[in-house]
A and B are shown apart, each in its own frame.
Chain A
Amino acid sequence: MQEHNIHRRTYSVAFIIIGVILFAFGIAFGLAVPALKLEKVIFDMPWIIAGIGAIVAIYGIAQLIRSESLGNVEFSRKTARTFLTNNAIILALLLLVVVICIIEPRFMQFRVLLDILTMSSTKLIIALGICFTLLIAGTDLSAGRMVGLAAVISCSMLQTPDYGNRFYPNLPQIPVPIPIILAILACMVFGVLNGFLVAKYDMHPFIATLATQVIIYGVTSLYFDMPPNNSQPIGGIRPDFSKLGLTKLFDRFSVLIPIALFITAIIWFVLNKTVFGKNVYAIGGNREAAVVSGVNVFKTIMGIFILASLLYGIGGVLEAARTAGATNQYGMGYELDAIAACVVGGVSLNGGVGKVGGIISGVLIFTVIQYGLQFINVSPMWQQVFKGVIIAVAVAIDLSKYRKK
């Protein structure tokens, strides 16, 4: 293949035109579907095409605006390969979606899309917390247990007065925010412990958070075992709490989606636009150099683990609200899912490398696999195999970017 240079403006206009055509086609097709009586054949496909068209057009417009600074677009074997390795996972995801849609056209529904986004929401919040600890070449094994702790604490104080088996039989109906704040604060106490062990004693985060993980599980279980509850699942959750996870805006949008988007935006801002974020990347990139440059490593590491625990706490409360119940087993293994999502999204375990956009796609990939494979009746055992393969392949492709020969 030869090299072709195309002016960035031509490139972006092409995208805008394709986008607008897709969008218009989608709308027109969508309006025609009832007349053609195709609802049960292609479902929401036209609208999804219109959506894709809109995204393509927006991308084109963004490219057009920045066309001066981006320079010409080069098409060659090399840029094609770079594109493929950089986006291999997204492409694999699209392929998977297409295959699922062909096998089961019912997958082409807004409802499905919204389900996937809803399911991804709390996972995303937890993954965003863990990504900070990965960015400094650490890890956080206590994430899942913190989710459980937050869930148990919030649920234990938010039961309906007429529920038979109340955790605190005489507790009045306190305002919803109080238990939520208490649950999150409890997580943050352990975040402080994590940060202190790592920052003060220079302990490897793997060990520090392993210790904390075990402690949290013990503490959660002790709390959960307090009479009169004696380790029974906590139920009878007040509707004014569970609506936090179950409310559907406009009858379809789960409220979790905007919450997750809001938190994602904040985390993106923290990582890219604050001194703290820059210090996180610096410590991950070269800790010695960060010390010599006068970065306050102690404060930054404390901040990382406290912020992470805050996010786990929020994730735990939302999960509890969504499922309207909790046990001490809640949240087990979430940290590994979150780490896997981050790594598939391009966060390096060697620290210093990782972007919010990558983490979002990492989380989405796992949800799509789980949801999509379930949709076409693939056994959960096979789903596990798929998940493992995705992790291995994704990271192998990602690393091949850095290999020189």
Chain B
Amino acid sequence: MGEYVLEMNHITKIFPGVTALDDVSLKVRPGSVHALMGENGAGKSTLMKCLFGIYHEDGGEIILDGQKVEIGTSKQALDMGISMIHQELHPIRFRPVMENIWLGRFPMQGIAVDKKAMIRKTKELFAQVDLDVNPQALAGTLSASTLQLVEIARAVSYNSKIIIMDEPTSSLTDNETEHLFRIIRKLKSEGRSIIYISHKMEEILKISDEVTIMRDGRYVGTWPASDLTTDLIIKRMVGRDMTNRFPPKDGITYSEQPVLRVNGLSSPLPKSFQNVSFELRKGEILGIGGLVGAQRTELVEAIFGLREITSGTVEKDGQPFKVKSVRDSKERGIALLTEERRASGVFGILSVLDNTVIASQTNYARNGILQQKKRVDAAKSSCRQLNVKTPSMETLMQNLSGGNQQKVLIARWLLTNPDILILDEPTRGIDVGAKYEIYTIMLDLVRQGKSIIMISSEMPELLGMADRVMVMCEGRVSGFLEKDQFDQVEVMRLATQFIK
């Protein structure tokens, strides 16, 4: 075996209209963790899909163990010892965990599936990665983070030389991330290599040995992780200096006047939010912190009219109102950007125009008949205001990058002219440059006197952007922090307060 277990040399991949990869190289040493970094749209996932046989490269070569290989399908990739943990999980929800793991290679006895062997093998596998899950539990009953760990176990089960992990920690808590790192170190000690894709700098610096950075489908370079710092990585990723991750908040003041008052709000589900009270002041950004599963999303969805409430009141501008549907909240000037951009935000197969005006469509219609010019003008001006980069308004939404899609969604809600914007993980899965733009937009909005509630699981973002932070734990409010009390340790303490 040579110096590298895998060499991807001068890979080029062209999609209709875009060159997704332009002469990109990646060289992975055996028994190492190799981080692959870059903004969204830099081509990391495309490169990995070429390696995993989902796409076929248009140029360049892949050398595995010194042999030039052609990888046509994912099955071939698996057979060659390459496995992949995908960014988005698609478990078969109504089947047991173990069937999800061994799908396509069930242990057999004659023509029948050997269930006992499957249970045994699954238990062995879970023991290997310190996971305490019943192999026969239905996948749909597990939490997102447990499923993520199961997925990692599945990748391990292939006994691969190379494991690709695409954003494996996106739904993991800090403890679970530590767990994952223990697994990774163990795999490393067994001589396996891991290609690790993540946006979280601290993680990368902690776990990886080498870092390859890509930008706009091109190769920037490879460095030992020990030579890098967060700022250096960001600089190389965006190709520009970024000493500040957050735009300056000069001259922004908020008044004491509350625009939204939530009193003792409770969900009918006992495990969801209970007895939540808070105030949102005009022109402020209220951050909601907490761990995954703290019921923050459920809370804001209830305020927006997407979920049921058993008790408690919501007052806007001193007027109590019953939230019955999204249309009510919209009329009252409340907007919500949901956490799951793809599942409940964008219409991928519709145009940017349709996506932008969908929430305010009735404003551009008379008796149900659309006034095309009004729609186009409104959408154009809103998209221009937010600096949405799109070839045209007729471009399909699915062809935009994550950051631009998110901007379109903000544009959509700005057209409903809201006083209160609820942003649920507004920068999840968005590259650094677009994040900065979203932050700038948020500050512009509060400057105009709008108020923002922002849920964020990223501590720097929460503390960097919010004027005040409410922390939730297990469905309850565990505390508020004013700007001068902001402290990561304190937020973590509150976020775990009620966890036994």
Stretch at the interface among B24-32, B361-369, B425-433, B450-458: B361-369
| Contact between chains at A294 and B368 (CB < 8 Å) | no
A405 partner, pick from B55, B336, B358, beta carbons under 8 A: B55
| Contact between chains at A273 and B370 (CB < 8 Å) | yes
Quick check: is B93 within 8 A (CB to CB) of the other chain? no
| Contact between chains at A291 and B306 (CB < 8 Å) | yes
B344 partner, pick from A78, A285, A289, beta carbons under 8 A: A289
**When each residue 315-345 of chain B gets 1 if its CB lies under 8 Å from chain A and 0 otherwise, what string results?**
0000000000111011000001010100111
Would you give the shortest CB distance from A392 to chain B, in whole angstroms? Answer: 23
| Contact between chains at A292 and B345 (CB < 8 Å) | yes
| Contact between chains at B350 and A293 (CB < 8 Å) | no
Which B residues lie within 8 Å of A353 (CB)?
Answer: 349
Which B residues lie within 8 Å of A274 (CB)?
Answer: 365, 368-370
Chain A residue nearest to B350 in the complex (CB)? A285
Stretch at the interface among A37-45, A119-127, A275-283: A275-283
| Contact between chains at B349 and A285 (CB < 8 Å) | yes
Which B residues lie within 8 Å of A275 (CB)?
Answer: 361-362, 365, 368-370
B347 partner, pick from A276, A285, A296, A404, beta carbons under 8 A: A285
Which B residues lie within 8 Å of A278 (CB)?
Answer: 354, 358, 361, 370
| Contact between chains at B344 and A292 (CB < 8 Å) | yes
Chain B residue nearest to A353 in the complex (CB)? B349
Which A residues lie within 8 Å of B412 (CB)?
Answer: 293
**B contact face: mostly helix, strand, loop, or mixed:** mixed
Q: What interface size band does chain B fall in?
A: 20 to 34
Chain A residue nearest to B354 in the complex (CB)? A278
Chain B residue nearest to A348 in the complex (CB)? B349
A290 to B306, CA, bound (A): 12
Would you give the shortest CB distance from A251 to chain B, in whole angstroms? Answer: 38
A339 to B109, CA, bound (A): 44
Number of A-B contacts (CB under 8 A): 77
| Contact between chains at A281 and B354 (CB < 8 Å) | yes
Which A residues lie within 8 Å of B359 (CB)?
Answer: 293-294
Count residues on chain A whose CB falls below 8 Å from chain B CBs. 24
Quick check: is A158 within 8 A (CB to CB) of the other chain? no
| Contact between chains at A273 and B362 (CB < 8 Å) | no
Quick check: is A313 within 8 A (CB to CB) of the other chain? no
Which B residues lie within 8 Å of A281 (CB)?
Answer: 347, 350, 354
Quick check: is A323 within 8 A (CB to CB) of the other chain? no
Quick check: is A364 within 8 A (CB to CB) of the other chain? no
| Contact between chains at B344 and A288 (CB < 8 Å) | yes
| Contact between chains at B358 and A293 (CB < 8 Å) | yes
Which B residues lie within 8 Å of A153 (CB)?
Answer: none
| Contact between chains at A289 and B346 (CB < 8 Å) | yes
| Contact between chains at B349 and A292 (CB < 8 Å) | no
Which B residues lie within 8 Å of A89 (CB)?
Answer: none
| Contact between chains at A282 and B358 (CB < 8 Å) | yes
A291 to B325, CA, bound (A): 9
Quick check: is B56 within 8 A (CB to CB) of the other chain? yes
**When each residue 264-306 of chain A gets 1 if its CB lies under 8 Å from chain B and 0 otherwise, what string results?**
0000000001111011011001101111111110000000000
A78 to B326, CA, bound (A): 45
Which A residues lie within 8 Å of B340 (CB)?
Answer: 288
**When each residue 337-357 of chain A gets 1 if its CB lies under 8 Å from chain B and 0 otherwise, what string results?**
000000000000000110000
Which B residues lie within 8 Å of A288 (CB)?
Answer: 340, 343-344
Would you give the shortest CB distance from A31 to chain B, in whole angstroms? Answer: 44
Quick check: is B175 within 8 A (CB to CB) of the other chain? no
Which B residues lie within 8 Å of A352 (CB)?
Answer: 347, 349-350
Would you give the shortest CB distance from B451 to chain A, in whole angstroms? Answer: 20
Quick check: is B348 within 8 A (CB to CB) of the other chain? yes
Chain B residue nearest to A69 in the complex (CB)? B392
**Interface pairs A-B: 7 shortest CB-CB:** A285-B347, A288-B344, A294-B326, A293-B359, A294-B330, A293-B358, A294-B327
A-B contact list, 26 entries, CB within 8 Å: A78-B16, A273-B370, A274-B365, A274-B369, A274-B370, A275-B370, A276-B368, A278-B370, A281-B350, A282-B354, A285-B349, A286-B346, A286-B347, A289-B343, A289-B344, A289-B358, A293-B358, A294-B325, A294-B326, A294-B329, A296-B327, A352-B349, A352-B350, A404-B15, A404-B55, A405-B56
Q: Which residues of A contact B (CB under 8 A)?
A: 78, 273-276, 278-279, 281-282, 285-286, 288-296, 352-353, 404-405
